[in-house]
Amino acid sequence: MTGRETAWRVFARELEASLEPERGTGERATSYVLSPFGARMNRVLLAGTLSTAEPVGRDETPSFWRARLTDPTGAVAVTAGTFQPRAMEQLRAGSGSRTVLVVGKVNLYHGRDGTAYVSVRAESLRDVTETEERAHYTEALEQTLDRVDLVDRLARGEAAAPREVGFVPPPWVVAAAESLRRYPSADRLQFRRDLRPVLGRIVGVASSALVPPAPPSVQVRRDPAPSPSTAPTAAERAEESLLLEFLDQVAEASLDAYADRRELLARVGAQGLGTDRAEAVLTRLEDEGVVEEPVVGKLRRA
């Protein structure tokens, strides 16, 4: 007898992009939905604002209910029926929107026109505080960025072990390899951009603020990068993604395929990442061998 499937920490944006079904092997095979970003999902865990549940169908005693869960990246339908009596009662319990944590199974439905619709069949849900929601978003963002990094590494033919971790769960490797095969044209850079509002929710600022400046009371120094035993935080990963995105843009627009250092810092500064903080992030990436400066003032990916 096999144990329960692990619940992947995901955001609505990834669920919305997941259009490929997959079925496991064996007599009672488990069904999965494969995402373009390295998740092979049977069960998921997600948080967000849940709308008031509405009955589905015209029966006097509805046996199926549906609500909409919205997080900083998008929205997904959450359902429950008589086969999930506890979840159905929890779904119906609230009036008005509320912040919840939901665990459930991913369901992929194709309409008559071939359009795919993703929903989550709730197994359990509960109201959470803003602090609990932020904690979940932090964990989900870290895992999501790690998975996207893994897909990127496999696409480049590199080893699977993620940076500064040294070990990656075997299901992640299987999912990442299958994602590359089933979604060869997936835009992982755009997906990273779509995750920016999550950082705003984590640090408690408006979702339009892509990256917050360093607090005035904190002295940011050009210290060496953290030791390999220290994994970067979700905020640091988001800062790195932002800086690398603009580095690519500046390099692509230049005549020599290099990114001018001053122009790069000016661009990220306009998005809320202070100069000192941007320099610290850039130094960390250079120390890690991700970015290099072969010509003074000219940067490129290593």
Mean pLDDT across 204-220: 41
The DSSP symbol for 168 reads -
**Domain membership flag for residue 182:** yes
The number of folded domains in the chain is 2
**Domain membership flag for residue 208:** yes
**Cα separation of 175 and 73, whole Å?**
22
**Domain membership flag for residue 2:** no
- How many residues are recorded in the chain? 302
- Whether residue 272 sits in one domain with residue 245: yes
Across 124-128, 138-142, 223-227, least confident range: 223-227
4 or 110, greater pLDDT = 110
Question: Which CATH number belongs to the domain containing residue 33 in this structure?
Answer: 2.40.50.140
- Are 151 and 175 contacting, i.e. CB atoms less than 8 angstroms apart? no
Backbone angles phi, psi at 188, to 5 degrees: -75, -30
- Whether residue 255 sits in one domain with residue 223: yes
Instruction: Check residue 178 and give its pLDDT.
Output: 95
Mean pLDDT across 162-184: 82
Structural domain for 212, as ranges: 137-301
- Whether residue 142 sits in one domain with residue 67: no
- Whether residue 84 sits in one domain with residue 200: no
Mean pLDDT across 203-218: 44
Mean pLDDT across 140-157: 92
- Whether residue 75 sits in one domain with residue 149: no
pLDDT band of 138, cuts 50, 70, 90: very high
Across 8-22, 109-123, 158-172, 181-195, least confident range: 158-172
**Domain membership flag for residue 15:** yes
Q: Hey, which bits of the chain come out as E strands?
A: 7-9, 20-23, 31-34, 40-41, 43-50, 54-55, 64-71, 74-81, 98-110, 116-127, 259-260, 291-295, 298-301
Mean pLDDT across 262-283: 80
- Whether residue 115 sits in one domain with residue 223: no
- Whether residue 189 sits in one domain with residue 87: no
**Cα separation of 150 and 165, whole Å?**
12
- Are 217 and 188 contacting, i.e. CB atoms less than 8 angstroms apart? no
pLDDT band of 230, cuts 50, 70, 90: low
Which of 91, 110, 128 is the endpoint of a domain?
Answer: 128
Of 226, 139, 148, which Cα lies nearest the Cα of 187?
A: 148
Which of 111, 128, 145 is the endpoint of a domain?
Answer: 128
- Whether residue 159 sits in one domain with residue 268: yes
Which of 128, 155, 190 is the endpoint of a domain?
Answer: 128
32 or 28, greater pLDDT = 32
Of 271, 36, 233, which Cα lies nearest the Cα of 134?
A: 233
Mean pLDDT across 6-22: 94
85 or 59, greater pLDDT = 85
- Whether residue 286 sits in one domain with residue 161: yes
Instruction: Check residue 60 and give its pLDDT.
Output: 62
- Whether residue 73 sits in one domain with residue 192: no
Q: Share the mean pLDDT of the chain.
A: 82
Instruction: Check residue 175 and give its pLDDT.
Output: 94
**Domain membership flag for residue 1:** no
Q: Which residues contact 34 (CB under 8 A, 6 or more apart)?
A: 18, 20, 21, 22, 40, 41, 175, 178, 179, 182, 183
Mean pLDDT across 45-49: 96
- Whether residue 151 sits in one domain with residue 121: no
